[in-house]
Amino acid sequence: MEKVRLQKFMADSGVASRRKSEEMIASGHVRVNGKTVVEMGVKVDHNDKVEVDGMPLETENKRYILMYKPRGVISAVTDNKDRKVVTDLLDDVQERVYPIGRLDYDTSGLLLLTNDGEFANHLMHPRYHVDKTYIAKIEGVMTTEEIRNLEKGIKFKDYTSARAKVHVMSKDKKKNSSIVKITIHEGHNHQVKNMFDAVGHHVEKLARESYGFLTLDGLVSGKYRDLTRQEVAQLKSDK
């Protein structure tokens, strides 16, 4: 086997994403052949003994999981406040998978998990414009101008959102609320909520109903399934 960078080896072993693996290396959590490594240039293969926090790494079978994340669950593998995390729901998964991206604690819907670092990096790369569709229950009734502003893009302090697709599914003037479908291809922190806030509408409830061609069909909240080989292949090939 050709030697690869340590952070890639860790990601391929299911420890974490490559970026998170780099953070673990820099903070002194990783040893190679008994020596703590903190630089990024080290290369290893399966003949090297790699340990993370004293635990040796072994190559795992690749897993690709689609989960219907419930509200009130953290999109992480651990939580310092001892709240439930998404991996707590994986009762028959032995591999050390982690979420691709995240959904907020109070947001439900489609979440992907894997132990394939290259796959995760591919989907999270800025050049990979995968459509993500959300259903939002918001306060108030949107005007045509507010919809157009979302569709043109919202300017924030650190970025300007790309053009969104917006469809008002229903509105209730008496209850002063609306149900809106919005499709974006970015993944900034709290982006959908911030976009609606920017045009004057607080999000009361939010759910992600699709990720590219993937949907939640056949799943109920808290359940999951493995992606098919065809689905994985299509996600890897889409660029």
User: What percent of the chain is helix, strand and coil (3-state, nearest 5)?
Assistant: 25, 30, 45
Q: 107 forms bridges with which residues in the sheet?
A: 206
Q: Which of 48, 104, 106, 238 is catalytic?
A: 104
DSSP 79: -
Query: What is the phi/psi pair of residue 151, to 5°?
Result: -70, -30
CA 46 to each of CA 3, 58, 129: distance values in angstroms, whole numbers, following the listed order: 8, 8, 34
* 104 given a catalytic annotation: yes
d(CA 108, CA 110): 7
d(CA 7, CA 25): 8
CA angle 79, 81, 87 (to 5 degrees): 30
Cβ proximity of 86 and 79 under 8 Å:
no
DSSP result, 84-110? -BGGGG-TT--S--EESS---TTEEEE
Q: Give the catalytic positions in this structure.
A: 104
